[in-house]
A and B are shown apart, each in its own frame.
Chain A
């Protein structure tokens, strides 16, 4: 049980940005050194398989870090992917992957638990397991090796990682990490004999999937069945969901790093889940239902968080923050608190990411930006109303133009518009619609300012598991490039419009693993052995690594990326569920093809997707009616469902506490 700091230190003098390896953040929890080892508490190493700058702000990791460290029977430290310069020096000097708190070798922990928020980091995960000095394949690990666990959104189809991981957590981790701790503690107490025993026990924890307990049967390229190997192993693994976010006011001690990171500010999650029903959006589908944090708690967490960290900026996070019932009183409350805090001079900035596209939202953004006009971002996602009904992103042109007009009229000079290309049923008319919307927005801008600029950001659509579009065949890189060129051609003479795009080849690589099966493990391993780490970093990405690995394994892009799936096909994740009925997803896919939208079930009747009804949980919202402003997803002439399962927060009390009328 020893720190390897003395061996790391000489290497840090030779790498870029060494501060990312020293830990020492405000809010970091100093581990109990004496308590490591076989008789000690369960030691978790929480890992983020990307750089420190990207990983440190991750809220999921920070939440579990605190919950585990609050337990008497657990300790948790953190680690991030070493950048390539340090990775190289560590290998040359035989220094293993280490934690940033006590700089202990990763292999001395009981669990190595990765948070996966995207698919392109999968090769980094393999690399970090290897750097830890642990066999990369679960099957080769000894009882003394750490248990490799994954969680996070990209773990909802863990099949491509089945060879490398011991267990997978589906859904929210707040409760399940404690249950896992107890299973591992019991295993340690019994002398940590064989891995099979602990894995078998883990497979019985709700929300935990142990890939090695399941057998996949194939018929040629097709999967015939995925079956549990033992009768006590569940046939289907369901996700975990916390019923009430108000019970989990974490992080209480937010981490403030010593070096600059991507979201260098306080974050407070205002609600979880989103039922706008955008059909391309995996995050919205897998996090249902909506659970709002009580307004009063949000205000307290912001006040305490700012006081603890010394930040003067806070992000109120969620999948669509303007939908938070009490957004206005909360914003006013935060501004009031910060004006009265000592030393602040009242200059706190509130950041509202994922804004809705409407004028109400712009008014809100105007209130909170503290005079800064850095640019506003909207995501209409598709270029025509027709295509927006297909994807169920029900924004009218009036919504968009109204939002853009109020943004420019209130002093913003830069507006950014996010679009997806390669969506189902997309025609060139839809694609060119993107150029038209942007052109019109720039015209609106010029009425207010000569400096008006509209940036169109275009990403290739990658169909994701557990969404209605999981059956759709992704566009080829060439097709995506052609569409990008169409947009560029239609806008290159337009004053004030700039087009940016995501590399279509990166979308293809993401597509390979997104809906992949276990056979992709060997492909991921080949890409990693070929030096393919940091694949989401353009300078280190090369699609040829992926295509030649596929070829070497006798697999094809056609099979994994481009082809449409059929209704009778066994999807690789068929035995894993986010609670959404397969029938619901298929019907919604058919409704998409019929250009028929659905409403937001938090305010309108339930259409029984299966989540609330199946799990006995409910929406937790402070308001039974849609928020002011905007027609997005509401007020349309759409099909109605049945009764809404919803719990209303005691809102009056919250608003009174905030001193603002509800």
Chain B
């Protein structure tokens, strides 16, 4: 039985890397007493699949994990799915909260394959309203050639098709960007270099707010939040 989980990553835990996050999920599942199915083979691995890695230092309102539960050891009906978000959040570190648990009724594509774009918020005390306007104007270009390095290989790419949307948020302090994740995806830090050349990308805070899948023209959020949550001004206290 597969469950799909949406969670946050806010505050101090933004410095926990992707691999360490996997260990945290693994331990928390055991603490919850939810047996995870294992892969077959010589070195069995827990069948936990993570979505697109979040860059180190970025926060998120939309992280996803798929977990295959071992139904030999527990009956799926015995799981208190409604209580799970709260029970799970209590065991997770501060800043990581489970917001949605879903049991897909039809087999779903893997997160890595199905997500086509993400929405991000970018901000820094050094970024002014004018900077934001200039950033949004990147959308007017027909072509944006950027030299990028992937796997030790330098290439010049036109990243304009990857910029699906750019706009200021309602406070006027943050840039909201929807970036395609297909092919040679554009990283938030790469967008920063382009949009705010005078700011060190390491000083720009990054928050992932949504992950989207699209089929033809139908764009959907992987798991929408039950109640609409405005883009947060919230930061987990130090």
Contact = CB atoms under 8 A, between A and B. Distances in A.
B27 A342 contact: no
Contacts of A21: 15
A18 B20 contact: no
A251 to B, nearest CB: 17
Interface residues of B, number: 32
Nearest to A312: B30
Contacts of B91: 26, 310
Contact of B17 (A3, A259, A345): A259
B193 to A, nearest CB: 15
Nearest to A372: B43
B33 interface: yes
B99 to A, nearest CB: 19
Contacts of B32: 343
B26 interface: yes
Contacts of A567: none
Contacts of A13: 57, 202-203
Interface stretch (A4-12, A115-123, A240-248): A4-12
Interface string A343-382: 1110000000000000000000000000000000000000
A397 to B, nearest CB: 35
A19 B56 CA distance: 10
Contacts of B94: 24
B89 interface: no
B138 interface: no
B12 A24 contact: yes
A259 B33 CA distance: 22
Contacts of B29: 310, 343
A19 B15 contact: yes
B238 A3 contact: yes
Nearest to A346: B73
A19 B26 contact: no
A6 B12 CA distance: 11
Contacts of B35: 342-345
Contact of B12 (A10, A23, A307, A343): A23
Nearest to B95: A24
Contacts of B95: 24
A626 to B, nearest CB: 38
Given A14-B202, A310-B30, A344-B30, A22 B20 contact: no
Interface in B2-27: 12-13, 15-17, 19-20, 23-24, 26-27
Contacts of A303: none
Interface in B148-195: none
Contact of A343 (B20, B74, B93, B238): B74
B47 to A, nearest CB: 13
B93 A260 contact: no
Contacts of B20: 19, 258-260
A237 to B, nearest CB: 41
A9 B57 CA distance: 10
Interface in A323-344: 341-344
Nearest to B93: A24
Q: Which one of B19, B70, B93, B202 has the greatest number of beta carbons of chain A within 10 Å?
A: B93
B238 A5 contact: yes
Contacts of B16: 19, 22, 258-259
A599 to B, nearest CB: 44
Interface in A30-86: none
Contacts of B49: none
B15 A343 contact: no
A309 interface: yes
A258 B56 contact: no
B23 A309 contact: no
Contact of B33 (A10, A14, A17, A342): A342
A104 to B, nearest CB: 11
A309 B33 contact: no
A103 interface: yes
B93 A258 contact: yes
Nearest to B56: A18
Q: Which one of B16, B28, B70 has the greatest number of beta carbons of chain A within 10 Å?
A: B16
A256 interface: yes
A343 B30 contact: yes
Contacts of B13: 22, 24, 258
Q: Which one of A21, A26, A264, A310 has the greatest number of beta carbons of chain B within 10 Å?
A: A310
Contacts of A14: 202
Nearest to A18: B15
Given A258-B16, A258-B93, A259-B17, A345 B203 contact: no
B27 A309 contact: yes
B10 to A, nearest CB: 12
Interface in A245-268: 256, 258-260, 264
B73 A343 contact: yes
A311 interface: yes
Nearest to B37: A345
Interface string A498-526: 00000000000000000000000000000
A308 interface: yes
B204 to A, nearest CB: 9
A159 B141 CA distance: 70
7 contacts: A13-B57, A14-B202, A18-B56, A24-B94, A259-B17, A307-B31, A310-B29
Given A256-B27, A308-B31, 13 more contacts: A6-B238, A9-B238, A17-B17, A18-B57, A19-B15, A23-B12, A24-B93, A26-B91, A258-B16, A258-B24, A259-B16, A310-B26, A310-B28
Sorted nearest first, the 8 A-B pairs with minimum C-beta distance are A310-B27, A342-B33, A5-B238, A343-B33, A18-B15, A310-B31, A310-B30, A22-B12
Interface of B: 12-13, 15-17, 19-20, 23-24, 26-35, 38, 56-57, 70, 73-74, 91, 93-95, 202-203, 238
